[in-house]
Structure 1
Amino acid sequence: MTCVGFIGLGSQGGSMARRIVEAGFPLTLWARRAESLSPYADTAAATAESIAALGAVCDHVGICVVDDAGVRAVMDELLPAMKPGSVIVIHSTIHPDSCKALAAQAAARGVALLDAPVSGGGPGAAAGTLTVMVGGDADALATARPVLETFAGLIVHLGDVGAGQTAKLVNNTLMAANMALAHHALASGEALGIDRTALADLVKASSGRSFGLEVYARLPTPQAFGHGGKLLAKDVGLLGALLGDDPAFAALRDVARPFLDLTTETPS
């Protein structure tokens, strides 16, 4: 059976790792902090003393750290330790060009690399309903698919390495724009004397509904979305780096940015 490794045990990655081990795959974990590993004491998961030690015993390694720098730091230690024929799957949301460069380095060592960012958050990971957006070789995806299916409700192969990241950036920029529109729509209703909660419940069942509105309607203030706002702002910035002043991106950015700025403001 495929020996799986996982690095990045945050709110989303942690649940992904638990789904993998509970599906019966031999799983090895590594984390910088010992407390990140304690939730897996009741599982069959093993732990590695280093990233290199994890790489040496695994055929498939998932990476779910926060950003480009984090992924590169993990890869610097992981890749030299992995066996030819292994697969690395990057679930982090990073620049597509970073994935392409890392895939070339991996290929030189006989290791396949897939970029496979996910959508659905911690609850989706725990429920096994994540959407996985994959870029990379079809044969490598076929090899990795049984592991991905432990936490995925939908797996979409979008093209070569980097395509998964590109799709995720478009998705997250649209999410930010939809939350911005929800913010303005609910504020408009309140200004006209309509109860905010009642209006949100109405729209969620009507033609103006969106996932962004559902998320925003649960927030007491934009600042309550501070952590998520920072992550979405990162992704909007990455898409901007790819598209520059493309009119389609500019339209999304100009809606999303003011709202994202609100999420990180200190309330007066």
Structure 2
Amino acid sequence: MGVLAAERIKLTSTRSPWWCSAVVVVLGIGLAVLIALVTNADSTGDSGEGPPLLTPSVAVSGVAGFGVMVLMIMAALTVTSEYRFGVIRSSFLAVPNRSKVVLSKTALVGIYSAVLTGVLALIAFILAKLITGDDAPGLVLDGNWRAIYSVPIYAFLCVMLAIGVGVLVRQSAAAISLIVLWSLLLENLLGAFGSFGRTVKPFLPFQNANRFLSVEEYAGNWHWGVWGSLVYFAVFVAIVFAGALVVVNRRDA
């Protein structure tokens, strides 16, 4: 409990977590409202065949996409900033069990991120529904609850991954670059190479995570179900995080 209290003080006494949280709120809610307003303005669609498709997954995409990315950056900085300023050495001197420090930080930031994104996902859906009304017949939760509860699960796993990467590389620029390029660019590029991309795509971790987040049919030759995709992503995160725990106990602070 003492380690958790120390990590809570670190998290709440610095400005970056508050700024990051504000950015997540603005992106998550703002994008949902913007998409709903566009749907209302173009209720007949570009082809005159009906309203643009708006589903729960699209409504919460600001939270699950940009919002979680900001939280991943924040999580990585909670580690790399301590290495940069030497604060991590004091933590390891006070708590010789280094794994306990990393696990406490992960639990605190991960639970906070999960709660924040879960609440924002529900608010984003409600606002989008209130704005669009009957103009978005696909915006219903009956059979689509996974679009809401998948977001906090994804956020927790992403925070866990970001902290693991931060522990491994120790530098803020390297950790942020790896997180952003990996999830937004590298996997999309690999999946774009014709037959090779179609073969590799089912084994890319963030592609599996995106499949779990989406209530629509996700393109690809998948070898397992939607929940299998979540398990695949979780196992990948666990491997990276376990590697970080091994390295942090073997390497000098």
Q: TM-score, normalised by structure 2?
A: 0.30
Structure number with the higher strand fraction is: 1
Structure number with the higher helix fraction is: 2
Compare relative contact order (CA 8 Å, sep 6+) and give the higher one, 1 or 2. Answer: 2
Q: TM-score, normalised by structure 1?
A: 0.29
